[in-house]
Structure 1
């Protein structure tokens, strides 16, 4: 084989190896490996999500809407009698014991008829879909699943006759297995809330924290003993948020979101890790394609 041919073969091998390694690094496979990081400091790019119900209509053009702070947010619902949801399109591969840690920032604004009904952070294995409107909060009927609801409407005894509460819900049931009736502020006050949901699969413990700043509280707002592997039947799950409105409504916004498929509580949501956001991945991919093209041209000129 000539020196030119050897150079050509080496260049192509180098390009293929580079592309393979970078695809693995950037999480461009069918689903992220456990421990991978989802990091949305804003929602300029929604291409990794499947939007359902009214959510794709609200967030037109593949990006979130401009929220109260001027940054783009993921708006799940925005008026009366709606259900919507947003799930990562690809199932997320959790750790073998289904451990995960998540942080998200949310806000209810532009209340209509008193504001309702809320949002549910959801881990489920059904599909990229939305559940019932109103008191169903877009979560009702999703089974198997676990959800953490933030609900500002009193639907009677199932809500503890409380119009400002949080709860842990199982298998699409809107009646919470654990409920917190005292929150840091009224959900319909327009305040920005910060939530942490952590599941320690080694100890089968789910914990929820809530604050008005991004400083993670030492004490949990709610905790619940649950075997998620047994509940879900798999460690590959759809991760995201649901929302619903009824005779009252509001803008239900997710402002930031960080998620990792291992138990690793997120103490610094401003800088949770080094995995690039989708826009950065696109630029990196384009740069790699340019590099590969350059290597191929050099290989041809050496023939």
Structure 2
């Protein structure tokens, strides 16, 4: 086992063992090495690539989903917050397509329709934030939106950095979700106020808030406070890689943006994991 694998395994073990009172952080993946089939259900095209990224759908085509294989206890009124980094790259076919979703669902059948369905279409009792890179009648080929109950008739839709159209003529430009750069996303939902906030940040650009205090009753949509969480993606006549690089999720609203992640768990657990991995490496050499 590589040192990176040891680090990831140790971090996951320590995170699982940490008392809930220490932190609201209940998912903490610095990478996804060893997660498919253990802590995550990876279906369809979803797999972990050689670099430890969760490749939900590759540029060779398909539809996939990677989500928790057990239900996660959300906070009161389905409160949660999450952050992850993603990259969409290697576009081909008719256009960079189609995009991915972060999904919270009542059930484990989290793989929906392919192509413009983003692997989400038809997933009931669910809420998704879509990161869409193809115009399927939304009048935009570059938008972030809120969807519910497997429908892609978005409740609210916003263009990152004001860029509404990204095709083969300009998709590598700043503000285009498919430009191959690393993006960060921050989603925060307060079940008490029923307000949702979504922010994104393109590498080397300013953090921007796309959805601000949008009122939605997620607990009613889900019908439960115990939900499966993860990602879906799909391609059609247009393709690209849909990669999730890392992921944190808390059952409170503590994750709101860069530098403001939950205090107790992340750095301490990773430091302990690093020590464990180094110790294991020394034992193997001895």
How does the TM-score come out when normalised to structure 2?
Answer: 0.76
Is the 8 Å Cα contact of residues 98 and 262 (structure 1) preserved in structure 2? no
Counterpart pick for 1:116 among 88, 92, 97: 97
In 2, distance between residues paired with 1:153 and 1:102? 25
Which residue in 1 is equivalent to 2:69? 89
Q: Per the alignment, in what secondary structure is the counterpart of residue 221 of structure 2? A: helix
Is the 8 Å Cα contact of residues 96 and 133 (structure 2) preserved in structure 1? yes
1:128 CA displacement: 4.3
1:213 CA displacement: 4.1
Which residue in 1 is equivalent to 2:5? none
In 2, distance between residues paired with 1:235 and 1:27? 20
1:36 CA displacement: 3.8
1:79 CA displacement: 3.2
1:28 CA displacement: 6.2
CA-atom RMSD in angstroms:
2.9
Is the 8 Å Cα contact of residues 254 and 261 (structure 2) preserved in structure 1? no
Residue 42 of structure 2 corresponds to residue 51 of structure 1: yes
In 2, distance between residues paired with 1:242 and 1:100? 19
Is the 8 Å Cα contact of residues 258 and 269 (structure 1) preserved in structure 2? no
* Higher helix proportion: 1
In 1, distance between residues paired with 2:152 and 2:236? 15
- Structure 1 residues 240 and 154: CA distance shift in structure 2, 3 A: same
User: Counterparts in 2 of 1:125-204, with a 5 A limit?
Assistant: 125-156=106-137, 159=138, 161-181=139-159, 182-183=162-163, 185-204=175-194
Deviation string, structure 1 residues 103-128 (Cα, Å, up to 9, x no partner)? 11001011112220001000011214
How does the TM-score come out when normalised to structure 1?
Answer: 0.72
In 1, distance between residues paired with 2:146 and 2:63? 19
Structure with larger Rg: 1
- Structure 1 residues 37 and 215: CA distance shift in structure 2, 3 A: farther
Is the 8 Å Cα contact of residues 144 and 171 (structure 1) preserved in structure 2? yes
- Structure 1 residues 265 and 151: CA distance shift in structure 2, 3 A: same
1:271 CA displacement: 6.8
- Structure 1 residues 249 and 28: CA distance shift in structure 2, 3 A: same
Is the 8 Å Cα contact of residues 45 and 57 (structure 2) preserved in structure 1? yes
1:97 CA displacement: 1.7
Q: Per the alignment, in what secondary structure is the counterpart of residue 78 of structure 2? A: coil
Gaps of 5+ in 2: 1-12, 164-173, 281-286
